[in-house]
A and B are shown apart, each in its own frame.
Chain A
């Protein structure tokens, strides 16, 4: 395989001015991150700061309801409430070892922004977060958290004013400030080495889930399911299972309101190959190659691209990608809350909704692990408004 590629996808389609910092980062991954000292330090932080391993929870109530085994990998229990922290603690530590003093990041749901601000505070780095102006409004609570953690939040008014525009802004910032700054990218997207770097840092999710499940049951799960925005929680969850071919891997994308012609976020299900944000992947785009606006009730899934490794797993047939509408995700949210006493993030609710949709179709002996990528506290206002709208 060509360096930095996953089959036909990946690569490094970034301005020439970004090549030196991208090469510097690749070199640091190989030299610093691979080293024993770094790994020891990272494990310390993951254990005592992030709170790993996170629980693998068997949902007894939901399992009874659907007729097969439902398990949750509880990334919502990680510090700051989502899987994003695994990535930011790792990248911030790497940045510090590289002698960088600042982190720049983009955020959609705000979870990655909060996680970056947290890692920056912990490791004494400055932090600037770009966030689409639309998302600043949708996720006001997370904006406040970032600011309390000492980060500067910069609203982005250009384009669709959501995650893709925040990534554009963060890349521009990085071009200009590359000497002292590391770009702490929030998903398994972007130019090489980011998709690889983020996957390596999130792979802890799947490694733990595999070991925990085997310890509890003595076997492998039948299916592993995760939501896909950029695809970092999903690739983290999938990675350890990829070699176990009998385990089905299912990524769940957001279909927005589901109406035909509506802009939604189901890139792998409906997109076509192209180049965005430094990588060759599948995109929501016009036939002329202009990027289409995306939409999801879950801000973290609202992205018109996807990590290149997912495009590759799909092309290989090793993973399957399906989509779920806003309404189905909302129903999944409510059902987990009532059945198990857990408020899931709306992103994770997509993965959950897909699994609940399998109700009654699988034998009782089947076990499905869902990556519960984050907790729902950030989404309470969206959920409230959606419920009001549904009843009104």
Chain B
């Protein structure tokens, strides 16, 4: 059983009778300066955990909206070093938990031991690595854990009971349940088999369960609302930001969803 800060954040939201709200935004989107303003706004609007995307040139788990946004960040020269430096300066003003979400190679090139130290210094609470499956994750998990950073597992509709159990032995913070068989990106309908899969996952883990990929409206949660403790919104938030220039108001309907 983990005592992660992220677990606490989600439990606090649940205690208020709502789901933890976890917006995702690629670091440096749409510009390096505007990004931190948007993070402040998301925080002020009550985001429980903010997922900061670490842009990568070849994001295989992402759909077109997130990919485009990540490439835009790279064009502006966003690096992991920049993200961690900026975060170190600004962390004390941010209430929300902070999770970095990215791909293996940029983390690897930064150096995993240095990453663990610098991320801890910057107040990062967790890491999600989209192309790091359970089998390859032990070394990194241990190095991160020594600095109090949780490696968040991703599971999905095709995760067997056996794999869920293997994950459960190691999971910390929360479990990220990928709602669809596919990449990130807004979907109208979530798959029918999702409810049963979520119930299975819920039974396997003692830490909270967050749902992500494809979410754009609380109405989508109908039928699974009792099984999910948190929600992650990425593509829909980016689209909202592109259309309105703001992020805070995007969270409003989610803040009251039970």
A-to-B contact residues, CB < 8 Å? 11-20, 158-159, 164-165, 168, 171-172, 175-178, 274-278, 283, 285, 287-291
* A168–B134 CA distance with the chains assembled, in angstroms: 21
Residues of B within 8 A of A274 (CB): 105, 108-109
Residue of chain B at shortest CB distance from A283: B105
Which residue of B61, B153, B163 contacts A175 across the interface (Cβ within 8 Å)?
B61
List 27 A-B pairs, Cβ < 8 Å. Answer: A11-B136, A13-B104, A13-B136, A14-B133, A15-B61, A15-B131, A16-B134, A16-B155, A16-B159, A16-B178, A17-B61, A159-B71, A164-B58, A168-B60, A171-B60, A172-B61, A175-B60, A175-B182, A176-B180, A178-B158, A275-B103, A275-B105, A276-B58, A288-B110, A290-B56, A290-B57, A290-B74
B80 touches A (CB below 8 Å): yes
* A13–B60 CA distance with the chains assembled, in angstroms: 11
Interface of chain B residues 100 through 121 with chain A (CB within 8 A): 103-110
Beyond A15-B133, A288-B79, A289-B106, whether A168 also contacts B58 by CB under 8 A is yes
Residues of B within 8 A of A15 (CB): 60-61, 130-131, 133, 154
* A287–B106 CA distance with the chains assembled, in angstroms: 9
Nearest CB of chain B from residue A34's CB, rounded to whole Å: 22
* A288–B64 CA distance with the chains assembled, in angstroms: 23
Residues of A within 8 A of B178 (CB): 16-17
In this complex, the member of A13, A158, A287 whose beta carbon has the largest number of chain B beta carbons within 10 angstroms is: A13
Nearest CB of chain B from residue A19's CB, rounded to whole Å: 5
Residue of chain A at shortest CB distance from B56: A290
Whether B108 and A277, one on each chain, are in contact in the complex, defined by CB atoms closer than 8 angstroms, is no
* A276–B109 CA distance with the chains assembled, in angstroms: 12
Whether A275 and B156, one on each chain, are in contact in the complex, defined by CB atoms closer than 8 angstroms, is no
Whether B60 and A287, one on each chain, are in contact in the complex, defined by CB atoms closer than 8 angstroms, is no
Q: How many A-B contacts are there with CB distance less than 8 Å?
A: 107
Which residue of A172, A287, A290 contacts B183 across the interface (Cβ within 8 Å)?
A172
Residues of A within 8 A of B109 (CB): 274, 285, 287-289
Contact with A along B40-55 (1 / 0, CB 8 A): 0000000000000000
Beyond the given A17-B156, A19-B135, A288-B110, please list 9 additional residue pairs across the A-B interface where CB-CB is below 8 A.
A16-B133, A16-B159, A16-B178, A158-B64, A275-B103, A275-B105, A283-B105, A288-B106, A291-B57
B1 touches A (CB below 8 Å): no
Contact with A along B71-110 (1 / 0, CB 8 A): 1001000011100000000000000000000011111111
Whether A276 and B134, one on each chain, are in contact in the complex, defined by CB atoms closer than 8 angstroms, is no
Which residue of A11, A20, A175, A285 contacts B160 across the interface (Cβ within 8 Å)?
A20
Residue of chain A at shortest CB distance from B104: A275
B161 touches A (CB below 8 Å): no
Beyond A168-B60, A171-B60, whether A17 also contacts B153 by CB under 8 A is no
Which residue of A12, A165, A171 contacts B136 across the interface (Cβ within 8 Å)?
A12
Whether B160 and A158, one on each chain, are in contact in the complex, defined by CB atoms closer than 8 angstroms, is no
Residues of A within 8 A of B163 (CB): 19-20
* A18–B130 CA distance with the chains assembled, in angstroms: 11
Residues of A within 8 A of B153 (CB): 16
* A381–B30 CA distance with the chains assembled, in angstroms: 41
Which residue of B106, B107, B108 contacts A290 across the interface (Cβ within 8 Å)?
B106
